Structure 1
Amino acid sequence: MNQVKTVALLGLLSALLITVSYWLIGGVTGAVLGIGLAALMNFVSWYSSDKIALAAYRAQPISPNQAPGLYRMVQRLSDRANLPMPKLYIIPTAGANAFATGRDPEHAAVAVTQGIVNMLPEDELEAVIAHELSHIKNRDTLTQAVAATIAGAISFLAQIVSYSLWFGGGSQSDREGSNPFGLLLTLMVAPVAASVIQLGISRTREFEADAGAARLTGNPRALARALQRLEASARQMPIAANPAFEPLLIVNAIPRQALSNLFSTHPSTEARIQNLLKLERELGTSFSVR
């Protein structure tokens, strides 16, 4: 069901890009350009999603000699999940977070911050890595990168046209016969709508990755404990990065207490923990809280 929902949301996001191009650029020419832009963005995301995301967080590759324990952990979990060993990266920040990226399991990467490696005990770090490997196995890494790229293109297009209207007035011939009210509404609503759809895609994938991690490690409570620690750490030491790529992270880079579920990149930590504890009961396992 979540897979169907994700495909539907991605289709809606691409349709929104085409519609925005129709209104902001004008008529059939704009719609055709929007289709071309959507296709181009999807191709770029498919081929370069790992490079884009890793660059956004300034992640640096690490070798087995630099982090032998982490490599052994990832290799063990990858073998258990029947996945190729992903490339490993470290994000040089004291903030605690992690993400996975890549167009498919053969071109995947897992990036962890220095802070999360230092903060979490081994079983909780293993649970976080398992969560990221579940994203790779479900191909969420590509889905989220495509969503982020298209949403970013919509916002960028709206911003460019807005600047044109404010400072240059735009080309009247380009928008001949366009509805000024529709144009204004598109400028205001389209970026918000794109963000809402992108965030909806992100939330549908997090519950699946949590469940996959719990089954991979056999220890749902370890991930529940890790999520609690990570949320508390993010409040004290948020990670500054491009917000378009925040859905890739295991928890929000900057927690937002007053943010409604509609505008959240992730389900609430409380809801995720409750799901994990429910899964623990279903699996018939029990682990003590530290």
Structure 2
Amino acid sequence: MVRSSDSSNTFHTILLIFAMAVLAGFVGLVLGGKMGLIGAVLLTIFGLAFGSRASAALILRMYKAQPIHPHQAPQLFEIYDELCRRAQLSPKPKLFYIPSKMPNAFAVGVGNNSSVALTDGIIRMMNPRELEGILAHELTHVQCRDTSVLGVADIISRTISALSRVGLLMLFFSMGSMFGKTAVPFWTTGAILFFSPSIAIMLQLALSRTREFNADRGAAELTGDAMGLASALKKLEHVIERGVFEKILRPGMRRQQPAMLRTHPPTEDRLAALMEIAKELESSKSGDADRSLPAEFDSGAPYAPPAEVTRKIKNPRYHFFSGLWR
């Protein structure tokens, strides 16, 4: 059975969610005193109640994801079913295929509404061992309810952003009387409202990085093979930095992205952590000894989508209205 989280990651998660909640309340307080604070709380609760269920289906629809059935990819499901069994996930999250050359995988939803999606690019890029590590990583996100935790953080962040925009509009139109209850100077109020969304996003990104480390550990424990995921991460890093995506996403000279602006930890940090986990698994023999997949796929690829789907696959491009690369 997978260890759901180590104490350090759990503490960081609680601390970051708490910090975001405090920030949302503070923005509401600055915006309208006690009534603003109550409004921020109610807006967050409303978002949590109605936003989380719809978001999973919406994300899959935005990526044009299509369900994969066992008869279409028996060897892929041989891996997937075994990993779900080890993770004690019942019912199993639905498995989806995304017709995109962008190498990507993600988990969405919670409980019966959870799903794991793989792009055409990542399926074709990875060997069976690496694909197992990626699937285990995403299933750990589902098992540890990371999609729920990150969804809460996203809703709080959006609440802060909405309140800040309303407040800045009120300031812009000289509706200063609305801020009379807070005794906060005009310019201080403006600064708080202006910078709060950026602070919330940085806290949200820090939370995402924390959960990625946890999912890496969970994947290694599910498979008993930390180096399979490590190999997959190396491939992804190579493609992003030196392939077509480097030209698309980072034209001109390469610049190192600041750590605080990353959704994932730096690859070198993840690889170092996986090396340590591999040593732990080797010394303790805590991982499952039996591999869950055959040595290689008979067809050379774990899933061959229908021809009418593959004909529509295009190079990844940015979609302005959805804000997605696919």
TM-score (norm 1): 0.83
Q: CA deviation at 1:156?
A: 3.4
Residue 180 (1) aligns with residue 186 (2): yes
User: Do the aligned partners of residues 206 and 32 (structure 1) sit closer, same or farther apart at CA in structure 2, a change above 3 Å counting?
Assistant: same
Residue 4 (1) aligns with residue 8 (2): no
Q: CA deviation at 1:152?
A: 2.4
| Counterpart pick for 1:99 among 82, 89, 106 | 106
1:72 equivalent in structure 2 = 78
Contact 2:170–2:176, Cα closer than 8 Å, also in 1: no
Contact 1:96–1:234, Cα closer than 8 Å, also in 2: no
2:88 equivalent in structure 1 = 82
Contact 2:134–2:229, Cα closer than 8 Å, also in 1: yes
Residue 272 (1) aligns with residue 270 (2): yes
Q: CA deviation at 1:179?
A: 2.6
Q: CA deviation at 1:257?
A: 4.6
Higher helix share: 1
**Per the alignment, in what secondary structure is the counterpart of residue 277 of structure 1?**
helix
Task: For 1:10-25, list aligned pairs within 5 A.
Answer: 10-24=17-31
Residue 261 (1) aligns with residue 259 (2): yes
1:27 equivalent in structure 2 = 33
Q: CA deviation at 1:139?
A: 1.1
Task: For 1:181-260, list aligned pairs within 5 A.
Answer: 181-235=187-241, 236-238=243-245, 257-260=255-258
Name whichever of 170-179 and 227-236 sits farther off: 170-179
**Per the alignment, in what secondary structure is the counterpart of residue 201 of structure 1?**
helix
Residue 44 (1) aligns with residue 50 (2): yes
**Per the alignment, in what secondary structure is the counterpart of residue 88 of structure 1?**
strand
Q: CA deviation at 1:55?
A: 4.1
Q: What does the per-residue CA deviation read over 1:34-86, in whole Å, with 9 as the maximum and x for residues that have no partner?
A: 11112122223443442344345443333334433333321121012211211
**Per the alignment, in what secondary structure is the counterpart of residue 229 of structure 1?**
helix
Name whichever of 253-262 and 65-74 sits farther off: 253-262
| Counterpart pick for 2:157 among 134, 142, 151 | 151
2:301 equivalent in structure 1 = none
Name whichever of 210-219 and 258-267 sits farther off: 258-267
Task: For 1:111-122, list aligned pairs within 5 A.
Answer: 111-122=117-128
Measured in 2, the distance between the counterparts of 1:269 and 1:229 equals 11
Contact 1:99–1:110, Cα closer than 8 Å, also in 2: yes
Q: What does the per-residue CA deviation read over 1:83-136, in whole Å, with 9 as the maximum and x for residues that have no partner?
A: 1211112222111011112223x3311011111011111110110000011111
Alignment-mate amino acid for residue 5 of structure 1: H
**Per the alignment, in what secondary structure is the counterpart of residue 96 of structure 1?**
coil
Task: For 1:106-145, list aligned pairs within 5 A.
Answer: 106-145=112-151
Contact 2:80–2:135, Cα closer than 8 Å, also in 1: yes
Q: CA deviation at 1:174?
A: 2.7
Q: CA deviation at 1:278?
A: 1.4
TM-score (norm 2): 0.74
Structure 2: 5+ residue runs without aligned partners? Answer: 1-6, 284-326
**Per the alignment, in what secondary structure is the counterpart of residue 118 of structure 2?**
strand
**Per the alignment, in what secondary structure is the counterpart of residue 90 of structure 1?**
strand
**Per the alignment, in what secondary structure is the counterpart of residue 284 of structure 1?**
helix
Measured in 1, the distance between the counterparts of 2:249 and 2:50 equals 27
CA RMSD of aligned residues (A): 2.5
Alignment-mate amino acid for residue 259 of structure 1: Q
Measured in 2, the distance between the counterparts of 1:138 and 1:222 equals 21
Measured in 2, the distance between the counterparts of 1:42 and 1:161 equals 22
**Per the alignment, in what secondary structure is the counterpart of residue 205 of structure 1?**
helix
**Identity, % of aligned positions:** 36
Alignment-mate amino acid for residue 50 of structure 1: A
Question: Which protein is bigger by CA-based radius of gyration?
Answer: 2
Measured in 2, the distance between the counterparts of 1:143 and 1:111 equals 19
Measured in 1, the distance between the counterparts of 2:124 and 2:13 equals 34
2:305 equivalent in structure 1 = none
Aligned length in residues: 268
Structure 1: 5+ residue runs without aligned partners? Answer: 240-252, 286-290
User: Do the aligned partners of residues 162 and 275 (structure 1) sit closer, same or farther apart at CA in structure 2, a change above 3 Å counting?
Assistant: same
Contact 2:40–2:159, Cα closer than 8 Å, also in 1: no
Measured in 2, the distance between the counterparts of 1:4 and 1:34 equals 25
